[in-house]
Amino acid sequence: MNAIMQAIAQLLYSGFSSIQQIQTKSLYLLRKNPIQRRSKATVEAVLEAGARLLLTIGYDKASTNKIAEKAGISIGSLYEYFPGKDAIFAEIRRRQVHRHARLVQAEPVRATFRETLRLNIKTYIRLALSNIELHAALIRDVPKFATSEAESILIVDSLEQSNRTINSRAIKLRPQCDTAIALELTTRVLRSTIDDYAMHAPEQLKQSVVTDQLLDMLERYLLP
């Protein structure tokens, strides 16, 4: 049971650093990672400006020129790190997911599988509620194609590590269960359910019944 717990936890919050090492020409990922303090400050200013404009004027009107102006930098400095505005919002979303990882890792290891699942659910809910307007706007207003590439890289990386753990420890989930698919679905169902509540019924996320019902569903799906 502890091995299952560790594998699920690993899926939900491991492997996030690998995306920082990827050099790509993708329209939806950072061109390069900031190294120096000044370059990091530039990237942070762009992300903060992008988030503010998303909430005030919306995705469609939040052009790279307006984001650069809001950030107090030149458009050339913006394009040094971001190929377009979609990459800005993708990075904001990626950092949200990464923050979920850090929040979970900061907690003591739970004794049971059920409590580990509960921790992941409650932590993601807490993350959504910490800035519900931005969380909902990223899900609702930013086109899915803009953020899906960054999220998919994280999920694939996590799945590879989780599968190695499961195979090495001979973990048993429910009969006839495809482990890789089951673990991926667990992550996707958890996030998409909470994201939907964040958009349409955020007040419900404050009720324990959402956590309890989602927990029961995932536990029944995964375990024999």
CA distances from 126 to 66, 110, 152, 204 (A): 31, 18, 22, 12
CA–CA separation, 95 vs 86, rounded Å? Answer: 14
Q: Which amino acid is at 48?
A: E
Residues of the chain predicted below pLDDT 50: 1-2, 4-6, 8-25, 165
**Per-residue model confidence as pLDDT tens digits over 138-168:** 999 988 877 776 677 666 665 665 565 455 5
Tokens 């960054």 -> residue: 150
CA–CA separation, 7 vs 168, rounded Å? Answer: 11
- 122: number of Cβ within 10 Å: 19
CB-CB contact of 127 with 197 (8 Å): no
CA distances from 47 to 89, 90, 135, 158 (A): 8, 10, 14, 25
**Per-residue model confidence as pLDDT tens digits over 168-184:** 555 567 777 777 788 78
Exposed / middle / buried, residue 55 (Cβ in 10 Å: 0-12, 13-18, 19+)? middle
Cα angle: 184, vertex 5, 176; to 5 degrees: 55
